[in-house]
Chains A and B, each alone.
Chain A
Amino acid sequence: MTGSRLASFATSATTALVCVLLLLPTIAVMPLSITETNFVTFPPRGFSLRWYETLFTSDAWRGAMVTSFITAALTTAVATPIGTMMALGLARLKGRWVGIGNVFILLPIIVPTIVTGVALYGLLARLGLIGTIPGLVLGHSVLALPFVVINVAAVLQKFDRRIEQAARSLGASPLTAFRLVTLPNLLPGVAAGALFAFLTSFDDFVIALFLAGIGAVTLPVQMWSGIRFEISPAVAAASTVLLFMSCLLLALQWWVKRR
Chain B
Amino acid sequence: MPRGAAIEIRDLTKRYGDVKAIDAVSLTVAEGEFVTLLGLSGSGKSTTLMAVAGFVDPDGGAIAISGSDVTTLPPEKRNLGVVFQNYALFPHLNVFDNIAFPLRMRRHAESEIDTQVRRVLDLVSLRDLSARRITELSGGQQQRVALARALVFSPPVLLMDEPLGALDRQLREQLQIEIRRIHRQLGVTVLYVTHDQEEALSMSDRIAIMADGRIQQLGTPHEVYMQPSNRFVAGFFGESNFLDVAVERAGDNPVLRPKGLRDITLHAALRRPLSGDRFLAMVRPEAIEIGDSRDPAFENNLPGTVEQQDFLGATQRLTVKTGAGSVAVRMSRLANAAALPAGAPVWLKWRAGETAVFDAQD
Task: Kindly identify, within residues 144 to 200 of chain A, every residue whose CB is under 8 Å from any CB belonging to chain B.
Answer: 160, 162-163, 165-174, 176-177, 180-181, 184-185
Find out whether the CB atom of A162 lies under 8 angstroms from the CB atom of B102: no
A-B contact count (CB 8 A): 68
Residues of A close to B89: CB separation below 8 A: 163, 166
Partner of B88, one of A166, A174, A176, A180: A166
B53 within 8 Å of A (CB atoms): yes
Stretch at the interface among B73-81, B194-202, B207-215: B73-81
Find out whether the CB atom of B149 lies under 8 angstroms from the CB atom of A170: yes
Find out whether the CB atom of B90 lies under 8 angstroms from the CB atom of A171: no
B236 within 8 Å of A (CB atoms): no
- Looking at chain A's contact residues, the main secondary structure is helix
- Are A184 and B101 CB-contacts (below 8 A) given A166-B82, A168-B74? no
Find out whether the CB atom of B53 lies under 8 angstroms from the CB atom of A169: yes
Residues of A close to B101: CB separation below 8 A: 167, 170, 172, 180
Task: Kindly identify, within residues 60 to 109 of chain B, every residue whose CB is under 8 Å from any CB belonging to chain A.
Answer: 74-76, 78-82, 84-86, 88-92, 101-102, 105-106
Task: Kindly identify, within residues 34 to 82 of chain A, every residue whose CB is under 8 Å from any CB belonging to chain B.
Answer: none
Find out whether the CB atom of B85 lies under 8 angstroms from the CB atom of A162: yes
B55 within 8 Å of A (CB atoms): yes
- Are A160 and B86 CB-contacts (below 8 A) given A170-B102, A171-B102? yes
Residues of B close to A172: CB separation below 8 A: 76, 101, 105
Find out whether the CB atom of B84 lies under 8 angstroms from the CB atom of A166: yes
Partner of A165, one of B84, B105, B149, B150: B84
Find out whether the CB atom of B75 lies under 8 angstroms from the CB atom of A165: yes
Partner of A176, one of B54, B84, B91, B105: B105
Q: Which residue of B lies closest to A176 (CB)?
A: B105
Q: Which residues of A contact B (CB under 8 A)?
A: 160, 162-163, 165-174, 176-177, 180-181, 184-185
Q: Can you list 12 contacts pairing A with B, beta carbon distance less than 8 Å?
A: A160-B86, A160-B88, A162-B84, A162-B88, A163-B88, A165-B82, A166-B90, A168-B74, A169-B55, A170-B76, A173-B76, A185-B92
Q: Which residues of B contact A (CB under 8 A)?
A: 53-55, 74-76, 78-82, 84-86, 88-92, 101-102, 105-106, 149-150, 153
Known: A168-B55, A168-B76, A171-B79. 16 other contacts (CB 8 A): A160-B88, A162-B84, A162-B85, A162-B86, A163-B88, A165-B53, A165-B75, A165-B82, A165-B84, A166-B82, A167-B101, A169-B53, A169-B78, A171-B76, A177-B76, A185-B90
